[in-house]
Amino acid sequence: MIARVRPGLRRFVANRGAVVGAILVVLMVGLALVGPAFTKDPIARDIDHGLTAVGAPLGPSTDAWLGTDQLGRDVWSRVIAGARASMTIALLATLLALLIGSIVGLTAGYFGGRVDSVLMRFVDLVLSFPTLVLAILLAALLRQSDLASANAPVVLTLGSVSWTTMARVIRGKTMTIARSEYVAAARSLGASDVRVVLRHVVPNLVGVVIAITALGFAQNLLAESVLSYVGLGPPPPAPTWGRMLYEGRIFYRTAPHLVLAPGLAILFAVVAFNVLGEGLRDAFDPKVRR
């Protein structure tokens, strides 16, 4: 498996844009992991010192790098805490989507025929619904259920609507591998379908899976922000970038930092993961390189 991935890694390192994206992603993930240990409590209100004399949010200063919000909470601390919350939800949703997409894509691509036709018609059915509308509907329904975690409805929602692209990509790659000579040779030697899939198909999918996972993560990160903005994300007071945007929208003139801070965080993260995903796709699937 390492031998199959190594050429892709060399192509990835040669892609400067992809390397920059990877560095940015590492910095963001590191900041989300260790940042909360060095920042203030993101939900602690400071009405006495965190607001102006007329009760307005404070602008950026040495005490609050990105200013404070309408409740006197430190915006920088909330952005960092929001990064951890948003990225955790996006990661879990992407892993769920990858699990569903891998099962559907592998099964359809390997067996083909009627199995492929039935599974792909189901994928087409899911794709026929507007993704955002379907996500909002599912999130609203799941939020009424008694789940163990406040993040569970968002994770299940995003995972349930974002697996279709992964399924199609994995299915197409699997069909190519299933028709290869080494798979035909393995079958002629009496290898079972399970053995062929585990020994020959899955290892050759690793590079493509890594690439679509990074791209799927970026999409889920943006989708989570949209759900949080419309009130279907993790409930307050947990900070997420989308909710911060929603709460700061009415202060966009008097305290623009309340909108700029989470908005730029979302933009920065989505672009970084998209650049990383594009670089991984170009590296591990040379046929799609431009």
| Model confidence band, residue 67 (pLDDT cutoffs 50, 70, 90) | confident
**List of domains in the chain:** 2-32+72-288 (1.10.3720.10)
Output the pTM of the full model: 0.85
**pLDDT of the residue at 5:** 60
| Model confidence band, residue 152 (pLDDT cutoffs 50, 70, 90) | confident
pLDDT of 193 over the 70 cut: yes
**pLDDT of the residue at 26:** 92
| Model confidence band, residue 146 (pLDDT cutoffs 50, 70, 90) | low
Are the C-beta atoms of 248 and 255 separated by less than 8 Å?
yes
Percent of the chain with pLDDT over 90: 28
Can you give the three-state secondary structure of the chain, one letter per residue? CHHHHHHHHHHHHHCHHHHHHHHHHHHHHHHHHHHHHHCCCCCCCCCCCCECCCCCECCCCCCCCCCECCCCCEHHHHHHHHHHHHHHHHHHHHHHHHHHHHHHHHHHHHHCHHHHHHHHHHHHHHHCCCHHHHHHHHHHHHHCCCCCCCCHHHHHHHHHHCHHHHHHHHHHHHHHHHCCHHHHHHHHCCCCHHHHHHHHHHHHHHHHHHHHHHHHHHHHHHHHHHHHHCCCCCCCCCCCHHHHHHHHHHHCCCCCHHHHHHHHHHHHHHHHHHHHHHHHHHHHCHHHCC
Percent of the chain with pLDDT over 70: 92
**pLDDT of the residue at 14:** 78
**pLDDT of the residue at 99:** 94
